[in-house]
Structure formats: C-alpha cells, structure tokens
Amino acid sequence: MEKSAGGPPQDGDSSTDDTDRPAADARQSPPALLETLAARVPEPTVVVGPDLDIVVANDRLTDLVGLSPSVLVGEPVTWLFPSLSQTAIEENCRAETGEYLRSPRDGADGDGWVELAFDEHRWDDRTYYVGVAHDVTDRHEREQMLEQYERIVETIEDGVYTLDEAFTIQTVNSAVESMTGHAAEDLVGESAMVLADESTLEEAARLAEEMQFGDREVGTLTTELTTADGGTLPVETRFTTYDLDDGRFRQVGVVRDISERRRLERTLAALHDATRYLLRAETKSEVAEHIVATATDVLDLPEASMFLFHPGENVLKQTAVSGHDGEHATTRPVTPDSGLIWDTFVDNEQVSFGPDSDLELGGTDRYRVDGHRPPARRPRGVPRPDRRGGRLAGPRDDRAARCQRPGRAGQGRPRADAPPARVGAPVPEP
C-alpha cells in the first residue's frame, strides 16, 4: 500500500501564515510524520528507510527491547531483528493481511522472538517500511517444546496414540504403524475396534471412567492387537485421560510389543521343566533327550539332534533327536572329514545354511532343508551366502583338545520363517 503526504498549506489558509510555513513544512517531513504515526500505534512499531536503517522506534518498541531511541535510530534493522531482509520485507508488504515475519530479537533485557507485519509508504520517491511487532517469545518456546515432544514420540520404539472419549483414533506415531502394519491415514478417524476387540475397549472404558472420577491416574491393559494381515500381536498399553476446555476428554497412551516377553516366559517355563527332568535323569541318553527336547521347545525348532564324541573310535554318534518323529534319526557315525557336523566340531566354526539348502552332514547322509538340491557340500573355508535357515556351532577349545576328549555336537533345522538360532555345539561331556 502506497501513501503520499500533502505539501505545505495553500495560499489563503487562515490557519497558517507565511511566518509559520517553515515550521509546518518541518512537521510534514517524512521522519516527523512517520514518528507521529508510530506514536499512535498501540503495539511496538519500527520505521525503516530504503536502506533498512531504523528511522523511528516508538515507546512500545523501546520498552520491548530495553533500548532507547537514541541507540536504535540509525542502526540497521537486522541488528535488532536478524532474520529480516529487504526481500522478505517487500514480499510481506505485498502479502495478504495476517501474514507475519518471525525473527529473533536482541535487546538489553535478553533475547526473544517477535512477529512483524510491514506496510510500505512512499515520500518524494523514497520508500519507508512501517513494521508492527508482536512479542511471541512464549509461543515460540511452546512450539519448540511441542516439536521436541513430536520428535521424541516419532523416535521411540513404543507406539503412542490418542483417542477421543468415543474411542475414535485421533493420532498414532510411526511405531504403531510398524507394529500393526496399518498406515496412519488408515487409522486416524476410525474406531479403535479396527485394532482391539470389544472386550478390550469395554475394559478401557471402565478404567477411563475411574480416571475421570479421580479413582486412578493410569490404566494398564494386556491384550492383543489385530494387525493388517489378520494376525495378532500381544501388547501392553498404559494410558491416561486429560480434559478439554469444552468438558470432553481425550485418552493418550503408550503401547508396547510384548512378543519377546511372552517368548522369554515360555523359555523360562521350558528351562524350569527341563531342570526338573535333568535332576531325575540317570543316563547320558536321558540327559541328551531332555536337552534336545528343550532346544526344540525353547528355540522353536521343528527338529534338533545331539551327537556325542567317542574318543576311542574318533567318531561322533547321534545320541538323541527330537521333532519330525525321529525322521533324521540315524545309527551311522560321523567320521572325520565326512561333512558339516565333523567340520563344525573340529574347526570351531559356526556354519549358517539357508532354506534352499540340501546339506551333506556326515558320510553319505543328506539333510534336506527345503525341496531344492544345491551343489555338493561347501568346501572348507568357503563361506556360505547369508541365508539363515539353520546353524551348526563348534566348541570353544583348541582343535587338538577337542579330538582327544569326549564332546557333543548338535544339528538343527528351524522353520523357514523362524529367525536364525544357535542350535548346537560340541562341548566337553560332563
């Protein structure tokens, strides 16, 4: 917006005679006129010239920054508001009402943040910019804190969600997307029934009601979420409520995947049972049977075997096998240089094999992991591709000692979709 000031009074104007004309001209000069304008604005106001030097600073501005006009006038406006520039100010003058420039501010009373809206004025082909400032230091700090919280929410491994009082999903973080396989845009606005069953929501509603009446502060539920592929995921969620200004409330909660905790619980239970059985075992065979049964259960393997080293014969013999109804039970000993079991026992190397492997483990025996037959067994020292279908692991003592004293070796074949696991190792016989 351009404005021009009128010239000196015209002849015949009874209010001003020739004697008063120089004083009137002085009052009508740009700095004086703009200073009068700035003084009438109830907000902190700064006037800058064509070179962005400060021409006028009203009392509200000097109060805001704690500096007197004599200090401010003549200084570049960027000294006071570092984020401003000629281009930004000109664009703001052309922008619609309600557009602001945000900048940090310096001052005698410390740093802060302001938002400014500028208006353009012209006088005798010179351009002046009148800027009205609003102190937004508190708002800026709140926004920065909110941004920090948002970053924390998006980086933690636990899922974070908010629901309204009708259990409509308001927000979810990326961890909820990863856990459930649902995209955030598919969840927001939907009922929480897409993730949890009716009994879970009924229990959550009961806990939320207790929070509203002040009977509790936090609710905890252990349940299962329905994933996008139709499966279920065991989770634990902790949530609370907060009130809105209109009398309604929201629920905010954290949900954690407890699959690993459940697996650990099953593992501890299996080891506890195995310990009880081992205490009653009287022979090596019974011990071996309990060990492979525990390995099958704890490591979630469809099959596991145990071999004992017989130093007099210098061979490994299968002592126990579990899973697949003993499909791979064998009486054939594993002799030196006969396959992966012996290599693992002697070389102290862990060997991984993939789901497409058909392995020669000992002698002429073949161990099929899947329906594909690869080439002959891996030569010593040649690593296999990183396709984890199973593992064989060797002991931790030197080669000579291993060949001179008894030990055990194990083999295992996990399911194709199971994670890799250490399924056995030759170790000294108790």
Q: Is the dihedral of CA 237, 240, 245, 248 positive or negative?
A: positive
- Please report where in the chains the tokens 């949530």 appear, as a residue: 239
Q: Token pair for residue 139?
A: 């708002």
CB 366 within 8 A of CB 358: yes
Residue 251 has pLDDT above 50, yes or no: yes
Residue closest to 266 by CA, chosen among 274, 277, 255, 278 = 274
Q: Residue 58 is which amino acid?
A: N
Q: For the segment 164-201, what is each residue's pLDDT rounded down to a tens digit? A: 999 999 999 999 999 999 999 999 999 999 999 999 99
What's residue 29's pLDDT? 58
Q: For the segment 363-422, what is each residue's pLDDT rounded down to a tens digit? A: 444 443 333 333 333 333 433 333 334 445 444 433 333 333 333 333 333 334 433 333
36, with CB counted inside 10 A (0-12, 13-18, 19+), is exposed
**Would you say the pTM of this structure is higher than 0.75?**
no
Q: Token pair for residue 317?
A: 């013999």
Which domains are seen in the chain, by residue range? 21-139 (3.30.450.20), 157-257 (3.30.450.20), 301-412 (no CATH)
Euclidean distance between CA atoms 65 and 88, whole angstroms: 22
Q: Any long-range contacts for 252-258 (C-beta under 8 Å, 24+ apart)? A: 252/160, 252/161, 252/162, 252/163, 253/160, 253/161, 253/162, 253/163, 254/158, 254/159, 254/160, 255/158, 255/159, 255/160, 255/161, 255/176, 255/179, 255/225, 256/158, 256/159, 257/179, 257/233, 258/222, 258/234
- Would you mind telling me the total number of residues written for the chain in this entry? 430
